[in-house]
Amino acid sequence: MSFSELGLSAKVQAAVAAAGYTEPTPIQAQAIPHVLARRDVLGIAQTGTGKTAAFTLPMITMLEEGRARARMPRTLILEPTRELAAQVEDNFVKYGVNHKLSVALLIGGVSFGDQDAKLTRGVDVLIATPGRLLDHFERGRLLLTGVELLVIDEADRMLDMGFIPDIERICKMVPFTRQTLFFTATMPPEIQRITEQFLHNPIKVEVSRAASTATTITQRLVRSGKKDFEKRDTLRALVRGADSLKNAIIFCNRKSEVATVYKSLQKHEFSVAALHGDMDQSARTAALTAFRDGKTQLLVASDVAARGLDIPDVSHVFNYDTPHHAEDYVHRIGRTGRAGRLGTAITIVTPEDTKLLSAIEKLIGQPIEWAGDAISDEEASEAKRERRGAGGRSGRSSGGRGEPRGESRGEARSETRAEPRAAEERPARRSAEPRATTRAERPERAERPARQPEAPVSRDRGSARPPASEEADMSHMPQFLLRPVTYRGK
């Protein structure tokens, strides 16, 4: 993918090349064409993934047509802090070198007079923190009726700083027919609500959630014999021995396994529910609700059943099976360690799984530590030899209780085929699961009691500095962040 394929103007492409960027990041590649097509866009991606250029580049392209009028900015970008606002301004300077754009900054700490003079001349782009913008507006020095495009950037930080009421006010002051671009690293319920209220049929562009969790998740491997009963023993020991286990999702590769593991855990008197593709909608909803409400502590699930579902943050993820597809590993472990909280992901590995494990370690770009003894290379090759031998006969001997390996792979695939992602996600997310405030979300608020009181202090004074990671250098970006993203109409 190159910048030339996105529909950006020649002048903008030249500026991008001059800035030294060769390839768009995933969020840029996916968002820019939709922005240029005048769609509302909801972009969800971790800090440091290049969200700024995802809106500045198409904006500069679009602003090539038309002219600004006095006191009526054509576009408005809201940023939570003056530092971030200044960074966005720098972007316009850098990518707008071939343009004569008029850009104004409305942030605290800068004299009203200078800002006002600029506004009077007319601006193409107004970058503002919410408080300062409202101050200007209330003084009657600013008209927002000419705004064609509104960007709400770093929305989750706006929330942290208590700016959501201001954002709501501003959204109501700009024309209803404007285009809106909305960027956030996370999607707490308040942010979800705002997007539903102020975006019109948005295109949702999301960079894999797991990307944001890598540093807060403790990942471990645990060896096990390959027989089903051995794996179930291993699993029970892991659940019983887990440190501060609040709740856990146990992932299996096949839906038949989901059923078996579920029954086994039930028999051993664990508090458990199951979620797999063969369950009807009401059974799934019931299982999920019970899990969310804390009535069941464990949820046994298949990848396909869990994908796209809004399952609350869990303390532990157990991979009963090493996933067949390395990407599934990333999705699975991303169910824990969200929003900066600590999580644990433990994967059960048998000698037969070492190849799958290598693929995972390659994808995430790091080895995963073993808890206890590792599986040796000899054991792995022994398993490989056995499998080959078994393949020559009927294939029965390798799968424990009469479930040959080959068949298991086939089934994993057939489940994927039977339940395409999109079909799985939509009904579950929209209708069957009202988000409301689940129990798992409340502690998050409790952890941040300072949010509201903090707001007046931090507003526009730059006292809330962006974390160091805000200026993240792309060269340190984890490999899997650079992989393709999913996007779909909401």
Note the residues at the interface with ligand ADP (CB under 6 A): 21, 23-25, 28, 45, 47-53, 472, 474
CB of 45 to ligand ADP, least distance (A): 6
Distances (CA, A) of 356 to 144, 325, 351: 55, 8, 10
Number of residues that bind Mg ion (CB under 5 A): 1
Candidates 17-25, 51-59, 221-229, 312-320: pick the segment binding Mg ion (CB under 5 A).
Answer: 51-59
Closest CB to Mg ion among residues 34, 51: 51
Residue 48's binding partner, choosing from Mg ion, ligand ADP, none, with beta-carbon cut-off 5 to 8 A by kind?
Answer: ligand ADP
CB of 126 to ligand ADP, least distance (A): 19
Residue 382: phi and psi, rounded to 5, are -60, -45
Taking the complex as a whole, the smallest distance from the CB of residue 12 to ligand ADP amounts, in Å, to 13
Q: Which is nearer to ligand ADP, 452 or 479 (CB)?
A: 479
| Strands (DSSP E) found in 200-326 | 203-206, 217-223, 248-252, 272-275, 298-302, 316-319
Give Rg (Cα) of the chain. Answer: 25
Q: In the structure encoding, which two tokens stand for residue 273, read together? A: 């529910």
- Piece of the chain touching Mg ion by CB under 5 A; list 43-51, 302-310, 393-401, 402-410: 43-51
Q: CB of residue 154 vs Mg ion: minimum separation in angstroms?
A: 5
Q: Return the number of the residue (47 or 397) whose C-beta is nearest ligand ADP.
A: 47
1 vs 237, beta carbon nearer ligand ADP: 1
Q: Does 157 bind Mg ion (CB under 5 A)?
A: no
Nearer to Mg ion, 43 or 399 (CB): 43
- Identify what 61 binds: Mg ion, ligand ADP, none; CB under 5 to 8 Å per kind: none
Q: What are phi and psi of 40, to 5 degrees?
A: -70, 140
Q: Which does 422 bind (CB under 5 to 8 A by kind): ligand ADP, Mg ion, none?
A: none
Number of neighbouring beta carbons within 10 Å of residue 454: 16
State the nearest-atom distance from the C-beta of 477 to ligand ADP, in Å.
8
Identify whether the C-beta of residue 396 lies closer than 8 Å to the C-beta of residue 258: no
CA distances to 11, 57, 162, 379 from 152, in Å: 25, 16, 14, 54
Q: Which of 51, 99, 316, 331 forms a contact with Mg ion (CB under 5 A)?
A: 51
Query: How many other C-beta atoms lie within 10 A of the C-beta of residue 135?
Result: 17
Q: Which residues contact 90 (CB under 8 A, 6 or more apart)?
A: none
Q: What does the alpha-carbon distance between residue 275 and residue 149 come to, in Å, rounded to a whole number?
A: 42
What residues between 256 and 315 interact with Mg ion by CB under 5 A?
none
Are 30 and 181 a contacting pair, CB within 8 Å?
no
Contact residues for Mg ion, defined by CB under 5 A: 51
